[in-house]
Amino acid sequence: MSSSLNKAVAPAPDPAMTHSPSPEIPEISIDVTSATTSEGSLPDPLELESLMLNIDASLRVHARHQFFTWTQGLLQNLVKHELLICALRNGEPLLFHVDCFAVAPVEPVPFGESFRRDTSLVPHLIKTWEENYFRPARCEIGSDTQFAQTPLARELARIGTGSVLAHGTYDAFGKLASFFVFACRPGTVTSKQAYFVEVVVPFLHLAWVRTQVNRPAGEGAGAPAGASTLLTLREQEILRWIHLGKSNIEIGAILGISPLTVKNHVQKILRKLNVQNRAQAVGRGLALRILSL
C-alpha cells in the first residue's frame, strides 16, 4: 500500500465555519465598590474586629440613648466624625424626619432645620449618591466651594466641619429610604472611611428605625423612679460638662476645683451609673433623664 495513503488528509476549511475576526466590544467603565480599602487590600485584623464589634453593637440598639452611645462611641473608631445627621424620608417630594447626634457641645436643632431647608447641598449629595450607583458621596464644603453659603454648609462651618461623607438606603423601587451625613473635619474623609460607611449604614438605618418604633413605649415613659437622686448635684453638674465635651482640666477650671477632684467625681459617676467610660455615662444619663439633648 502506498505510504501516501497513510498520511492524514486535512479537511478543506468549511466556509460556514470560518469566522472573520470579531470587532472589539468596547469596555464600559463602571466604578464598582469592591470589598477592599483604597489601598487595594482587605481591612487589617484590628479594623475587621472593630467592624464586627460595631455590627454587633448596632443589633443591641433599641432606644435613642443607645443609638447615641453607639454612634458617638464605638462607631467613631471606624468613622471619625463631629456630627451625624440621620434623615428618614416620610413623604413626596423629599420630606424628611431628621435627627442629629454629636458628642461636642452642639445644639442639634439648627442642623436638622438647615438640612430640611437646604435646596442645594442636600439635593447634590443625594443626586451624587444615586448617580454613583448608591455608593457613598464625598463633598468638600469649604468657603471657596459652590456650597459654602447653603444653609447646611453654614451650620457645619460654624462647628469647623468642612467635609461631609453621605450614604443612604433605598426601598424595593429604588427610592431613597434614609440618608446619613457624617460631618468631619476638613481633609479627614478617606476612601477607607467611605468603605466602612458603606458597610455600616444598613445597620445604622435599622438601628435608628428601631429607636423611632420604640420611642413612644421606651423613651416617652419618663425617668425611672429615683433617677434624679442617683447622682449628687455636683456629679450631675460634672456629667453635664462631660456631655458638652469638656476635659477634667476644663471642668476643674469652670467649677473652681482641681482636676484630681473632678477625676474622683467622674469615677463615682461611672460606678453609680454602672458604665465603663464617659461616652457610656452620657448615654446612661440621657436614658435616665439626668441629661437632656
pLDDT of residue 286: 81
pLDDT of residue 169: 96
Q: What is the dihedral of CA 275, 248, 234, 254, to 10 degrees?
A: -150
Among 142, 145, 146, 191, which Cα is nearest to 165's? Answer: 191
pLDDT of residue 285: 85
Give the three-state DSSP class for 269: helix
Among 150, 117, 124, 148, which Cα is nearest to 138's? Answer: 124
Give the three-state DSSP class for 66: helix
Q: What is the Cα–Cα distance from 161 to 144, expressed in whole angstroms? A: 14
pLDDT of residue 6: 45
pLDDT of residue 33: 34
Q: What is the Cα–Cα distance from 287 to 65, expressed in whole angstroms? A: 6
pLDDT of residue 146: 85
Q: What is the Cα–Cα distance from 160 to 184, expressed in whole angstroms? A: 8
Indicate yes or no: pTM above 0.85: no
Would you give per-residue pLDDT tens digits along the chain (293 residues)?
444 444 444 455 554 444 444 444 344 333 333 333 444 567 889 999 999 999 999 999 988 888 998 999 999 999 999 999 999 987 766 788 899 998 777 777 788 889 988 989 999 999 999 999 999 999 988 777 888 889 899 999 988 898 999 999 998 888 899 999 999 998 888 899 999 999 999 999 999 999 887 554 334 444 454 555 789 989 999 998 998 889 999 998 888 899 999 999 999 999 999 888 998 888 888 877 788 65
CA distances from 115 to 161, 209, 238, 268 (A): 15, 19, 32, 39
pLDDT of residue 54: 94
